Amino acid sequence: MKFIVRFILLAAFFTVMNEPANLRATIEPVVPVKDTVTMVDLGAKSCIPCKMMAPILEELKDEYQGRAEVIFIDVWEDRSQGPRFGIRSIPTQIFYDKQGKEAYRHVGFMGKEQIKKLLDMLLEGK
């Protein structure tokens, strides 16, 4: 009887502990955003260059609101996203034009001015 109770408690514990990860895995971000210039940064919240880019991405989200989408995906939290985007190293930034076609890919830290230059070029249709 003790074995059965322990087994049930252990199974319940693992079910509850894994639920948030299962929910995250089922909600895939829509990338690229339809009819919008999109920049997706694939990294991890605990990666040093990714941490350095986080405030830049937040500024760009505000600056380009309504004109372009800036999306961050943590590939360590959701491991399915790395293979989905063909990621080999983080951070990786992928830029999509308004038609949803990949226009540019960069690996490593990317500064605000570089990102703005690419977003502006894509917004102008170049």
Backbone φ and ψ for 43, nearest 5 degrees, come out as: -160, -150
**HEC string of 34-101?**
CCCEEEEEEECCCCHHHHHHHHHHHHHHHHCCCCEEEEEEECCCCCCHHHHHCCCCCCEEEEECCCCC
| Residues labelled catalytic | 47, 50
